[in-house]
Amino acid sequence: MAQAKVLIFAPADSTGETHRRLEGLGCELALGKASWSTPMGNNEDEIVKMAQGADALMGTSIRSSPITRRIMESSKNLRIVAKFTIGVDDVDVEAATDLGILVTHAPTESNWGGVAEGTVGIMLTLLKNIREKDRFVKAGHWRSNDLLGAYVGARADGYKGITVGIVGLGRVGGRFARLMGPWGARLIGYDPYIPDSKFKEHGVEKVDFQTLLRESDVVSLHVVLTKETRHMVGEAELGQMKPGAVLVNTSRGAVVNERALVKALQEGTITAAGMDVFEEEPIFPENPLLQLGDKVLLSPHMVSGNVGAGLKPGVVWGTEAVIRALKGEVHDNVYNKEVVPRWLQRFGGKSLLG
């Protein structure tokens, strides 16, 4: 039996443990050059050559060379593209589905739970002026009304608290809502794909997108990147927000039109933005977001990266998904589930492993 070929287009296992596991099962491995810390590397032409004859592709984010139809078409027997991350926006999922290829992802709690916790941290840093207070004291000063922060929750004196708008009430948005619940703020949410029961479960009032933008003091984005969500926050949407509002994006950079955001911050349309993700990553030194001072809080797309978490669980899940696919089996974390029946007709029960 010929060896199964696995291309790891963006390796993330520094220990090599999962590589050795695959090799121990008789797989031939090819390793790309992209990495988690700098998700650049191979260009499309190079990946096309490396993917020829591959039965499986796997890896973490790869911004310079998304897994395109052309890459997937370079191997007629390709069974799976397995991501180590939650997001699959760097894979042409529509093409994969059309070609009968499984796309799996890794929604590990250490990842999405970390994003929710990090969102709280970003929001509070902006609302409470934490950076500014630290800098003020280190400069030898003491107290100023310019450093007053926002009180988040409702109080017994009649103060109703701020309104937090959550766009996307899936794993991350739902956990963020649960974390915010005890604070007593008003939580409103928009997600046309989540049943009303989930809104009630998370203590979130369901509203339409325009109402959320108008009424929120904080707008927090928790959506996957699709044709529908690309630039869902642009000049018109920012113009509907309160002048004192804060925007937080820990989902995907292209959900927000950065040019419109920069303009809104410069003109005072909104007060501040906290961003863990950007339209181009790594962020270019010329990006005007870097020139906006305390109007922005920027993070290098690693709000999910915490001690004991990071990509390690996702690497394990992705490796298991590849092994299952090479055995002719379907892993639980298939993103394009509609392809499964067709995939099983072609590959079901046909193992490439000894």
Element at 218 (helix H, strand E) = strand 218-221
CA gap 9, 7 in Å, rounded: 6
CA gap 256, 234 in Å, rounded: 6
The one-letter amino acid at 245? A
Would you say 150 and 128 are in contact if contact means Cβ atoms under 8 Å apart? yes
At 116, phi and psi to the nearest 5? -65, -45
Pairing of strands 56-59, 272-275: unpaired
The one-letter amino acid at 287? N
Give me Rg for the CA atoms of the chain: 22
DSSP string of 72-91? Answer: HHT-TT--EEEESSS--TTB
Task: Name the active-site residue from 79, 175, 222, 252.
Answer: 252
Examine the residue annotation and report whether 231 is marked as an active-site residue of this protein. no
Would you say 10 and 39 are in contact if contact means Cβ atoms under 8 Å apart? yes
Examine the residue annotation and report whether 281 is marked as an active-site residue of this protein. yes
Examine the residue annotation and report whether 105 is marked as an active-site residue of this protein. no
CA gap 149, 129 in Å, rounded: 6
Q: Report whether the peptide linkage leading into residue 39 is cis, meaning its omega lies within 30 degrees of zero.
A: no
Query: In the structure encoding, which two tokens stand for residue 154, read together?
Result: 């409702």
Tell me which residues are annotated as active site.
252, 281, 301
